[in-house]
Structures are given as C-alpha cells and as structure tokens.
Amino acid sequence: MKILKIDNSQGYYLLDQGEYAPVDKITKDDLLRLVGLTLGSEVDFDEFTDEKLKNQAHQII
C-alpha cells in the first residue's frame, strides 16, 4: 500500500478513504494513522528528491 506519493512536484499522503491529500494539509490524527499503518503492515512510498518534490513546504513535512 502506497501511503506517500509525489505527483506534479508535490507530496501527497493516503487518506482513510483511499484518496490522497496534499501533505501540507496533514493533521495529527493523520500522522498517527500513517505511523500505525507503517508499523502494522507493509507500506510503500515514493523516493524523496529535491528534483521530484519542488514545493519547499512539502519537502519540510
């Protein structure tokens, strides 16, 4: 299951409904859910590079 992806030079995270939202909209509850998914199952995410993820706010998050 892919929980973090990079698309159009922006980062996105997986919502409960199976859709993705921009990482600058992430909440504490979303972070806790993603940590739980990471610890409880096999997850995948896109490799981070400055070239792929050009939005500086998304790079920090």
Domain assignment of residue 28, yes or no: yes
Domain assignment of residue 61, yes or no: no
Hey, what long-range contacts does 46-50 have (CB within 8 A, 24 or more apart)? 46/2, 46/4, 46/5, 46/6, 48/6
pLDDT for position 35:
95
Domain assignment of residue 18, yes or no: yes
Instruction: State yes or no: pLDDT of 61 exceeds 70.
Output: no
Domain assignment of residue 39, yes or no: yes
53/13 Cα distance (integer angstroms) = 13
59/42 Cα distance (integer angstroms) = 23
Per-residue pLDDT band for 59 (boundaries 50, 70, 90) equals: confident
Q: What is the pLDDT of residues 7-58, one digit of tens each?
A: 988 999 999 999 999 999 999 999 999 999 999 999 998 887 778 887 777 7
pTM for the model: 0.82
User: How many domains, in total, are found in the chain?
Assistant: 1
Which residues are paired to 45 by β-bridges? Answer: 4
Instruction: State yes or no: pLDDT of 60 exceeds 80.
Output: no
Domain assignment of residue 13, yes or no: yes
Domain assignment of residue 54, yes or no: no
